[in-house]
């Protein structure tokens, strides 16, 4: 019996050596946040080099990193054929339908065929990355979550310095087109300030859910208040209403579904104080009084169109455009060219359903949404049994809520966060002796 125990302990140690600690996942997100800012600084809507702009739109640093994690998992024993066999039959059918049809619009209808095909290939890498995280990531526990949090906060602090430097050391206006700098586009590495706000909102949900979990378990640390204040301030500073909506949805689901214990009066007071400090500091640092950084400007509440940021008419136009290619869509980036001259132009539709329809067509959209709904449902069930993954569930819910108003399923960075969430959540359900078993249950 003693020999058997020693053998099991040795086996566990070997598996730990092959695992991907949560600290490494946090460092990966933080390093990529900073690296992307270094590689893609801009004071205009796009990079000067078309090739470099394409790399920014595709999120190549994130994609390359995901490929690295996939290779790491494959070398560590991941077998994709085994993963496929363990999927439920309905998941297999949906995946087959998606793979059979999602590429047609890019190949035959797109006006930017090479870029559209590359974007579709990139999209396939993300779920493979999620499976690799599922297989490789170490189990979520209090110690691992704290390490991941410190890594995320460290990256955010460095990025705050980079962002401040970008605003304080901008080039002379005389050197810029039309002698103007559009401030919402100069966040290092981000397509716009809205995506920066979405990132901060998702991380805030992670931190807040972890705080609530620690509070329920009798935690007495004060540093989380500082991290929450920092992340909330950056979210408010970005003026991203979508992020606020995502936070409200995610935390409502977390509080109701998982029935967290009520907080102590002192904790409620300190959280309220943190929110006040975050709001005052963020609103006092609005760059050059630019309305793009205000959560609510005067003209934002004039009409329903202004409240939605112009999305209502944009979605209506895209819906009519989609009806010209209903079966297979027109490929990624179709919203950039499919509308008549004079209409709004964006690289993505700012809505997950319209994005899938316009990009892949109806059959692939039905399959993709069914897979996403099933995975989300299973993730929430997993968190009921393994409460340590609640921070990842909250972050996932925030990103999913925001996907109805922005490109969370178009850009590589939020997709990486989504797949990390799924991977770690499902990883909490895996058996030590059968690391792929949970996928088929």
Cα distances (Å, whole numbers) of residue 435 to 84, 133, 430, 439: 14, 12, 5, 9
Of the candidate ranges 187-201, 206-220, 368-382, the one whose mean pLDDT is the lowest = 206-220
Cβ neighbours of residue 34 closer than 8 Å, sequence gap 6 or more: 155, 158, 159, 162
Q: How far apart are CA 392 and CA 159, in angstroms?
A: 22
Q: How confident is the model at residue 371 (pLDDT cuts 50, 70, 90)?
A: very high
pLDDT tier at 416, thresholds 50, 70, 90: very high
Residues 356 and 365: beta-carbon distance below 8 Å: yes
Tens digits of per-residue pLDDT, 257-289? 988 777 778 888 888 999 999 999 998 888 888
* Whole-number pLDDT of residue 7: 35
Let me know: does 18 contact 77? Beta carbons within 8 Å: yes
Average pLDDT over residues 372-399: 94
pLDDT of residue 100: 97
State pLDDT tens for residues 20-64: 788 899 999 999 999 999 999 988 888 888 899 999 999 999 999
- pLDDT, position 142: 74
- Other CB atoms within 10 Å distance of the CB of residue 362: 16
**And the tokens for 309?**
């940021």
- Residues 233 and 252: their CA atoms lie apart, in Å, by 20
CB neighbours of residue 2 within 10 Å: 6
The rounded distance, in Å, linking the Cα atoms of 380 and 294 is 34
Which residue in 213, 214, 275, 290 sits closest to 244, CA to CA?
Answer: 275
pLDDT of residue 220: 64
Does the structure show a pLDDT above 90 at 440? no
Return the number of other C-beta atoms located less than 10 Å from residue 417's C-beta: 23
The predicted pLDDT at position 299 comes to 57
What per-residue confidence (pLDDT) applies to 352? 97
Per-residue pLDDT, 36: 95
Q: Report percent pLDDT > 70 for the chain.
A: 89
Q: What is the dihedral of CA 321, 325, 328, 334, to 10 degrees?
A: -40
**Structure-model confidence comparison of residues 412 and 437, the more confident one:** 412
pLDDT reported for residue 287: 84
Nearest to 187 by CA among 171, 204, 203, 164: 164
Closest-CA residue to 25 (of 428, 425, 422, 420): 420
**pLDDT at residue 320 greater than cutoff 60:** yes
Angle between helices 89-101 and 362-385 (to 10 degrees): 140
Q: What is the pLDDT of residue 246?
A: 97
pLDDT, tens digit, 9 for 90 and up, residues 69-82: 999 999 988 999 99
Mean pLDDT for 426-437 is 56
Could you tell me if 97 and 314 are in contact, meaning their C-beta atoms sit under 8 angstroms apart? no
CA 157 to each of CA 153, 227, 389, 390: distance values in angstroms, whole numbers, following the listed order? 6, 10, 24, 24
How far is the CA of 146 from the CAs of 22, 27, 156, 232, 324, in angstroms? Answer: 9, 12, 15, 19, 50
**Cα 3 to Cα 1: distance, rounded to the nearest angstrom:** 5
Query: Which DSSP symbol is given to 286?
Result: -
Q: Is the dihedral of CA 185, 186, 187, 190 positive or negative?
A: positive
Counting beta carbons within 10 angstroms of the beta carbon of residue 308, is it exposed (0 to 12), middle (13 to 18) or buried (19 or more)?
Answer: middle
What are the b/e assignments for 180-212, b being 16+ CB within 10 Å?
Answer: ebbbbbbbbbbbbbbbbbbbbbbbbbbbbbbbb
Beta bridge partners of 20: 137
pLDDT of residue 201: 96
In the predicted model, what is the mean pLDDT of residues 115-122? 95
Beta strands in 55-195 (DSSP E): none
What local confidence, expressed as pLDDT, does residue 27 receive? 94
Non-local CB neighbours of 102 within 8 Å, separated by 6+ positions: 120, 359, 360, 361, 364, 368
Between 300 and 4, whose confidence is greater? 300
Residue 307 CA to residue 318 CA, distance in Å, equals 19
Mean pLDDT of 213-217: 83
């Amino acid at each position: 019996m003693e020999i058997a125990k020693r053998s099991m302990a040795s086996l566990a140690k070997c598996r730990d050596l092959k695992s991907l600690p949560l600290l490494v996942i946090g460092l990966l997100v933080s390093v990529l946040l900073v690296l992307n800012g270094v590689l893609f600084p801009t004071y205009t809507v796009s990079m000067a080099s078309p090739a470099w702009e394409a790399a920014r739109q595709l999120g190549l640093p994130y994609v390359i990193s995901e490929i690295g994690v996939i290779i790491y998992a494959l070398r560590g024993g991941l077998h994709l054929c085994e993963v496929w066999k363990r999927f439920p039959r309905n998941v297999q059918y949906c995946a087959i339908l998606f793979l059979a049809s999602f590429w047609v619009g890019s190949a035959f209808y797109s006006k930017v065929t090479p870029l559209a095909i590359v974007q579709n290939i990139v999209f396939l890498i993300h779920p493979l990355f999620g499976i690799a995280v599922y297989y490789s990531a170490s189990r979520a526990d209090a110690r691992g979550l704290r390490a991941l949090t410190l890594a995320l906060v460290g990256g955010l602090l460095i990025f705050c310095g980079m962002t401040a430097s970008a605003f304080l050391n901008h080039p002379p206006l005389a050197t810029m087109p039309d002698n103007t700098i559009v401030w919402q586009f100069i966040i290092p590495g981000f397509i716009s300030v809205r995506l920066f706000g979405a990132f901060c909102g998702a991380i805030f949900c992670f931190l807040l859910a972890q705080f609530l979990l620690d509070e329920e378990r009798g935690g007495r640390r004060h540093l989380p208040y500082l991290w929450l204040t920092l992340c909330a301030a950056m979210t408010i500073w970005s003026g991203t209403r979508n992020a606020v909506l995502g936070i409200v949805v995610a935390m409502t689901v977390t509080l109701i579904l998982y029935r967290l214990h009520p907080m102590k009066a002192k904790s409620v007071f300190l959280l309220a104080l943190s929110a006040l400090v975050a709001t005052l500091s963020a609103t006092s640092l609005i760059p050059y009084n630019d309305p793009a950084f205000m959560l609510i400007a005067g003209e934002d509440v004039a009409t329903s169109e202004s409240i939605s940021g112009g999305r209502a008419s944009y979605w209506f136009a895209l819906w009519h455009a989609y009806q010209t290619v209903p079966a297979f869509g027109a490929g990624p980036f179709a919203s950039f060219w499919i509308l008549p001259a004079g209409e709004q132009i964006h690289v993505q539709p700012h809505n997950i359903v319209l994005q899938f329809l316009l990009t892949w067509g109806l059959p692939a959209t039905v399959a993709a949404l069914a897979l996403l709904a099933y995975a989300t449902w299973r993730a929430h069930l997993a968190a009921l049994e393994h409460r340590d993954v609640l921070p990842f569930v909250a972050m996932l819910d925030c990103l999913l809520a925001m996907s109805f108003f922005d490109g969370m399923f178009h850009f590589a960075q939020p997709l990486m966060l989504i797949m990390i969430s799924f991977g770690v959540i499902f990883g909490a359900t895996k058996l030590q002796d059968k690391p792929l078993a949970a996928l088929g249950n």
